[in-house]
């Protein structure tokens, strides 16, 4: 709890801490004073424009404001204490506006823009607009690339699939979605 309150032992608050909190929650860890303190530490690092920054720049996993924003907003949704609900709603609303207006540059950005909008409760039309952009960046081999001038790879393809599946934006009748799921031998039971 002391480390959480002091913000010590934090490598990259925009992503490392957020990933840990979201992962712990997905594994069934209940919110605690320590997780609430860590979420509060993250919440207060939000920029006035609504995004969160990465302090470490090692693309593709570290460096995207979209990833930092999506993961941090999810962490504060899951971990801030109930009495901080108004703060969560305000911060999520600002993050949503930033995600709606910011220009994504690559698969990492698009995937986390889609996840972030899904977690903020954006409208289906807002979510579908980003999902269409992500689907449009799919390669002929059925995968996605980290950068436009690179070949498809497992990391970019995996994050795109998770974002699309989590958003429920593409339907199972969408030809590109079906092609990708078939080419990667992935079915919806593998994505939670």
What one-character-per-residue DSSP string does 120-167 give? HT--HHHHHHHHHHHHHT--TTS-EESSTTS-EEHHHHHHHHHHHHHH
Average of per-residue pLDDT across 49-73? 85
Average of per-residue pLDDT across 160-189? 64
Which of 43-52, 67-76, 175-184 bottoms out in mean pLDDT, i.e. has the lowest?
Answer: 175-184
Whether residue 60 has a cis bond before it, omega within 30° of 0: yes
What is the C-alpha to C-alpha distance for residues 83 and 125, in angstroms, rounded to an integer?
32
pLDDT band, very low/low/confident/very high, at 188 (cuts 50, 70, 90): very low
pLDDT at 98 over 90: yes
* pTM of the entire predicted model: 0.83
Q: What is the pLDDT of residue 11?
A: 58
Tally of residues, the chain: 192
The vertex-74 CA angle with 69 and 80, nearest 5°, equals 115
Side-chain-side CA neighbours of 160 within 13 Å: the count stands at: 31
pLDDT at 143 over 90: yes
Q: What is the pLDDT of residue 55?
A: 75
The vertex-158 CA angle with 154 and 161, nearest 5°, equals 140
């Amino acid at each position: 709890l002391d480390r959480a309150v002091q913000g010590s032992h934090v490598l990259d608050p925009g992503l490392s801490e957020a990933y840990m909190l979201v992962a712990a929650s997905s594994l069934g860890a209940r919110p605690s004073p320590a997780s609430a303190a860590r979420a509060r530490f993250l919440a207060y690092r939000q920029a006035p424009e609504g995004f969160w920054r990465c302090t470490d720049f090692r693309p593709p996993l570290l460096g995207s404001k979209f990833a930092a924003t999506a993961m941090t907003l999810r962490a504060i949704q899951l971990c801030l204490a109930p009495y901080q609900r108004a703060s969560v709603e305000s911060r999520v609303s600002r993050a949503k506006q930033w995600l709606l207006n910011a220009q994504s540059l690559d698969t990492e950005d698009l995937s986390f823009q889609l996840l972030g909008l899904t977690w903020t409760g954006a409208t289906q039309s807002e979510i579908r607009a980003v999902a269409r952009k992500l689907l449009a960046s799919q390669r002929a081999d059925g995968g996605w690339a980290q950068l436009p001038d690179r070949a498809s790879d497992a990391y970019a393809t995996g994050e795109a699939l998770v974002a699309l599946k989590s958003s429920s934006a593409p339907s199972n009748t969408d030809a590109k979605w079906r092609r990708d799921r078939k080419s990667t031998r992935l079915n919806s039971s593998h994505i939670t």
